[in-house]
Amino acid sequence: MQKNNFWADLKFDLPAGLVVFLIALPLCLGIALASGAPLFSGMIAGIIGGLVVGSLSGSHTSVSGPAAGLTAVVLVSIQQLGSFDIFLLAAVMAGVFQLALGFARAGMIANYFPSNVIKGMLTGIGVIIILKQIPHALGYDKDAEGDFAFFEQGGSNTFLTIWDTLTLYIHPGATLVALISIGIMLLWERPAVKSKVGFIPGALVAVVISVLINQLLLSLGDPWGIRPEHLVSIPVASDASAFLAQFTLPDFSQWSNPKVISVAFTICIVASIETLLCLEAVDKIDPHLRTSDPNRELKAQGVGNMLSGLIGGLPITSVIVRSSANVNANARTKSSTIIHGMLLLICVALIPAILNMIPLAALAAVLILTGYKLAKISIFKESWSNGKYQWWPFIITVLAVVFTDLLTGVGIGLVASAFAILRGNMRNAYFFEKEEYHEGDLITIKLSQEVSFLNKASIKLTLEHLPENSKVVIDATDTAYIDFDVLESIREFAKDKAGLKNIKVNLKGFHERYNFWEADFVHSNPDPDAEPKSNNNRSLATETSKP
């Protein structure tokens, strides 16, 4: 049965693996270039991410490899440590630390990432992909493929690079290839075409045709021909020994160097957080609604980073660009991830010269459509319809990811989400309004089942806005838990503040474990038969939610 399932899924996983391979190829090289590391180290990381992490991971759709979020860390770390082989030792040690985190079940923190922040991260990444790939699609390849930061090396930024491209550097041949590639992929998604040749990835067709078009232009000597500086550039080894010479071993003599340990710890924390974020995000867009074990993922990433560092590769994380492309290509199982790793290894080892014929503009077209699927207008509309406490953290995360980087943007989004939660809890109480309640009214404040510290502000504001000479019943009959800070606020009001406004308080239903009872604070017990003042069936109640 399992064998039949494997072959049934393979018809989806094989094309998906091809698409991810095409996207991973320039990103592995670009991230290595942006990190100040040998280009081949990016390919090693991509291969290990596909073959090793893909095999060990419990995720069906997550794809791992070198990550743009680590480029700054890697660049600074190599400079700080003085050599790439010492940095590789730090990468190995980071893998050991990640493995320990997995066994310590540290992956549980993924459960606390708010969904609006995760959606904002995905959408922000989609916007970044589109903005960053526009120059490559038009033939301006100054900025490395793997650089997703808003502020670029040399003092430029994403918008200035786009402006320079549009005004100074448009390459007609690259633009033609990009437009044709986008047209082919859009055509391939039409139901009539998809039903007949959908088993062949549209991205693969676009890339093959772009190579043929460019080779024809070059053979004719046409100025529109795309030159090598605008093509994929994989290191080409002359023979097997030269190929093996590209692998680098760590300098184990530095194992006790405090700087190495510090860099390893930094890589471990950044890579683990990025992995957990991406794992949570890709699970949300999985059409089969499957969930992944974050602790198993940390263990898989740890083993992958250890092995990658041992043979000269960059650090690895789960990467949302490749993972989302994998989902959009209809991958069914993690076989697609493993296939993409196998293709990277085979092509780098056997046919690098052929891969070096692929125009970067064609791969940019593939990425632009991937970005569009992550940042469609419908996603913004859906978030808006969910209310302001979902919309604002979402849009703040989107903007922060676009204008900073992935981890900084998510951090800002988490702060915005926390503020929205606090604000929402403050607003959940029915605030007192003078036109609704008057002196002498009997007002009931009924607490819900769980009252956390997040409800402290709303309860204090409600009590402070009660009218003078009124009667209030604070009812905790149905309440199972009240936070200590909330209890202190109620005590303070009942003992001191209520008397100043001649408010008669009755505390009802408070458990003995709270160490105060109704009789302690009753200034004058209200008429038990009186009905609470209502306004359109609304009583002044503190509605709380479970923290």
pLDDT of amino acid 364? 94
- Closest listed residue to residue 112, CA positions, set 276, 349, 292, 296: 276
Q: Which residues contact 395 (CB under 8 A, 6 or more apart)?
A: 120, 380, 383
Tokens read off for 223 = 């100025």
- Beta carbons within 10 angstroms of residue 405's beta carbon: 21
**Would the pLDDT of 308 be above 90?**
yes
CA–CA separation, 343 and 182 (whole Å): 23
Residue 75 or 525, more confident: 75
Task: Quote the pLDDT of residue 195.
Answer: 84
**Residue 223: CB partners within 8 Å, gap ≥ 6?**
172, 173
Average pLDDT, the chain: 86
Please name the residues in contact with 328: beta carbons below 8 A apart, sequence gap of 6 or more.
370, 373
Domains located in the chain, CATH noted: 2-379 (no CATH), 428-547 (3.30.750.24)
Higher pLDDT, 486 or 205: 205
Q: Residues 322-365: pLDDT tens digits?
A: 999 999 999 999 999 999 999 999 999 988 999 999 999 999 99
Mean pLDDT value of segment 360-383? 93
**Four-point Cα dihedral 303, 307, 312, 316, nearest 10:** -20
pLDDT given for residue 481 in this prediction: 78
Give the pLDDT of residue 1: 39
In this structure, are residues 278 and 319 in contact, taking their beta carbons and an 8 Å threshold?
yes
pLDDT digits (tens, 9 = 90+) for 10-52: 999 999 999 999 999 999 999 998 899 999 999 999 999 999 9
Token match 């070059």: residue? 218
8 Å CB contact between 84 and 248: yes
pLDDT in tens, 312-322: 999 999 999 99
State residue 425's pLDDT score: 63
Mean pLDDT of 476-486: 81
Residue 503: name the closest of 519, 489, 486, 524 by CA: 524
Q: Which of 443-447, 494-498, 519-523 has the lowest mean pLDDT?
A: 519-523
Contact 334, 57 (CB under 8 A): yes
What CA–CA distance (Å, rounded) separates 464 from 246? 71
Integer Cα distance of 291 and 273 in angstroms: 17
Looking at residue 538, the DSSP 8-state letter turns out to be B
Give the pLDDT confidence of 65-74 residue by residue, as tens digits.
999 889 889 9
Distance CA 92, CA 77 (A): 14
Query: What are the beta bridge partners of residue 413?
Result: none
Asked if residue 520 has pLDDT above 80, the reply is no
Short-list 356, 249, 233, 383, CA closest to 308: 249
Q: What is the pLDDT of residue 435?
A: 42
Name the DSSP class of 504: E
Taking the CA atoms of the chain, what radius of gyration do you get in angstroms?
29
358 in Cβ contact with 347 (< 8 Å):
no
**With bands split at pLDDT 50, 70 and 90, how would you rate the model's confidence at 115?**
confident
Count of alpha carbons within 13 angstroms of residue 38, beta-carbon side: 19
Please give the share of the chain, as a percent, with pLDDT higher than 70.
90
Give the 3-state secondary structure percentages of the chain, helix then strand then coil, rounded to 5.
65, 5, 30
Res 3: pLDDT:
47
Contact 322, 19 (CB under 8 A): no
105: Cβ contacts below 8 Å, ≥ 6 apart: 295
pLDDT digits 0-9 by tens, 423-458: 766 555 443 443 455 566 688 888 877 777 777 777
Residue 160 has a pLDDT of 93
The first and second tokens of residue 399, run together, are 């903007």
Alpha-carbon distance 132 to 147, whole Å?
Answer: 8
Sign of the dihedral defined by the CA atoms of residues 510, 511, 516, 519, in that order: positive
